[in-house]
Amino acid sequence: MNFEFTEEQKLFSESVRKFALVHLENDALKRAHNPRFPFDVAQLMNRQGLMGITIAQADGGQGGTLTDAVIAIEQIAAVCPRSADVVQFGSFGPIRTFAEYGTPAQKQRWLPDLLSGRAVMSLGMTEPEAGSAATDLKTAAKPDGANYLITGAKLFSTFSPDAQIFLIYVRFGPGVGGIGSVIVERGTPGFQIGPPSSFMSGEEWCELHFDNCRIPAENVLLGPGGFKKQMSGFNVERIGNAARSLAFGRYAFNKARAHAATRAQFGRPLCEFQGVQWKFADMAIKLESAQLLLYRAAANADRGFPSAYETAIAKAACNVTGFEVAHESVQVMGAMGYSRESLVEWCMRRCRGWMIAGGSVEILKNRIAEHVFDRRFDQRKRHADAAE
Ligand SMILES: Cc1cc2nc3c(=O)[nH]c(=O)nc-3n(C[C@H](O)[C@H](O)[C@H](O)COP(=O)(O)OP(=O)(O)OC[C@H]3O[C@@H](n4cnc5c(N)ncnc54)[C@H](O)[C@@H]3O)c2cc1C
């Protein structure tokens, strides 16, 4: 067992750090408080080879590993946390599932714009009646000659105010086996995008409504039976969420550490009070242990999809750690930490969202418990007759 990065990984990490310091440090605060997707950063990252890190070179990506993409998130977030969302989009988000399962024609049509930072994609899975119980989704795709008619609604989709392309989970028929996904472009007749609403983090999302929205059959990404494949792809997204949670927690930790080393009260720097030292020791324990779980999940997956269990345990640990560390960092920095002059409170608000998004901590714990007991625990209410 080796806990060191390879020489290649160290060089990559250093090059991303330098890129971030030169191009992203200056406007980090402004960028974080702007809810719009930073297309300028995506275009810069494309030129730097930081888009599509986990996507095959044949598809226009970099052909790197999940660990490479985690390293990129860590180094970018350490300088400009908001820009780490672009790494997420380019290497972990729905684009990864799309690149894995898209037809050559679909990839040719949409990947060049997505990877060059000219367009962003949004994932529509959650519905008013289907949150954690994602397989309860109702949005339907009905065949209509050479087309499909899409009807239904989606909520909370990240990047939806800016996205040109939407990967929408739909139901072709009953049950889990009836679920698949389609691509819908902004502007398609029958597809309405509502006005933006805000999350606690300042991120915005729009309600998506499909009213007999006609799409060609070529826009089907995964037909009936595609749900399992979609969830395997979704585990990659979870690694990206975990990596950002941890990186944002570490960003806050580093700011708080610098503050505690220099801010004096009662004639001494804050770091000389044991009550403050122990906060940092606790934070360091949490950060280091979650980091190992994250690296394990990413490294074991290599270029493929990570295991559901290792992803669940890594995401739960990183989500909770990121939030707790950012929260404690706010406390250590007092009113300055609570102020929008620093990004520490913003990191805390962003980390809070990842405890809910992309598989809440509770849903992940359900998955972990199934592994512990080596059996499935059905979360659904049993029918009265079945219980008898
Ligand atoms: C920042 C952010 C970004 C998001 N981005 C997207 C996106 O891009 N695309 C998209 O489709 N959706 C997105 N979502 C929505 C997200 O996927 C859902 O919020 C999530 O699946 C939870 O669903 P819900 O909010 O309806 O909560 P509910 O499912 O109603 O759950 C409410 C609470 O009950 C708990 N709970 C539910 N079932 C169980 C159970 N069986 N055991 C234990 N506890 C349970 C949950 O953990 C939660 O704490 C985003 C959400 C956030 C916060």
Ligand 1 centre to CA of 149 (Å) is 27
Ligand 1 centre to CA of 360 (Å) is 6
From the alpha carbon of 159, which atom of ligand 1 is closest?
8
Q: Are 98 and 175 in contact (CB under 8 A)?
A: no
* Residue ranges in the chain modelled with pLDDT below 50: 386-388
**Residue 250: exposure state from Cβ atoms within 10 A (0-12, 13-18, ≥19):** buried
What's the length of the chain? 388
Q: Candidates 129, 132, 135: which one to mutate for ligand 1, based on the most atoms within 8 Å of Cβ?
A: 132
Q: Is 379 in the pocket of ligand 1 (CB under 6 A)?
A: yes
Report the b/e string of 124-154 with b at 16+ CB within 10 A.
bbbbeebbeebeebebbbeeeeebbbbbbbb
Give pLDDT, residue 312. 97
Q: Does residue 334 come out as left (phi exceeding 0), alpha (psi in the -120 to 50 range) or beta?
A: left
Ligand 1 centre to CA of 355 (Å) is 9
Give how far Cα 240 sits from Cα of 16, 54, 95, 228, 301, Å.
Answer: 17, 11, 12, 19, 13
Ligand 1 centre to CA of 176 (Å) is 18
- The rounded radius of gyration (Å) of the Cα atoms in the chain is 21
From the alpha carbon of 199, which atom of ligand 1 is closest?
1
Ligand 1 centre to CA of 13 (Å) is 33
Give pLDDT, residue 303. 64
From the alpha carbon of 361, which atom of ligand 1 is closest?
47
Ligand 1 centre to CA of 359 (Å) is 6
Ligand 1 centre to CA of 199 (Å) is 13
Residues 6 or more apart in contact with residue 23 via CB below 8 angstroms? 44
Q: Is 2 in the pocket of ligand 1 (CB under 6 A)?
A: no
Give the DSSP per-residue string, 280-327.
Answer: HHHHHHHHHHHHHHHHHHHHHHTTSPPPHHHHHHHHHHHHHHHHHHHH
Of 96, 74, 93, give the one whose Cα is nearest residue 83: 74
Give pLDDT, residue 302. 73
pTM here is 0.96
Q: How far apart are CA 351 and CA 242, in angstroms?
A: 9
Q: Are 332 and 282 in contact (CB under 8 A)?
A: no
Q: Is 101 in the pocket of ligand 1 (CB under 6 A)?
A: no
Q: Candidates 127, 156, 319, 382: which one to mutate for ligand 1, based on the most atoms within 8 Å of Cβ?
A: 156
Q: Does residue 190 come out as left (phi exceeding 0), alpha (psi in the -120 to 50 range) or beta?
A: left
Of 46, 201, 179, 186, give the one whose Cα is nearest residue 113: 46
Q: Is 129 in the pocket of ligand 1 (CB under 6 A)?
A: no
Q: Is 353 in the pocket of ligand 1 (CB under 6 A)?
A: yes
Instruction: Give the bridge partners for 210, in sequence order.
Output: 152, 191
| Nearest residue by C-alpha to atom 3 in ligand 1 | 357
Q: Is 157 in the pocket of ligand 1 (CB under 6 A)?
A: yes
Place of tokens 């810069």: 44
Ligand 1 centre to CA of 226 (Å) is 21
Q: How far apart are CA 63 and CA 3, in angstroms?
A: 23
Instruction: Give the bridge partners for 132, in sequence order.
Output: none
Give pLDDT, residue 18. 98
CB atoms closer than 10 angstroms to residue 122: 27
Ligand 1 centre to CA of 358 (Å) is 7
Q: Is 123 in the pocket of ligand 1 (CB under 6 A)?
A: yes
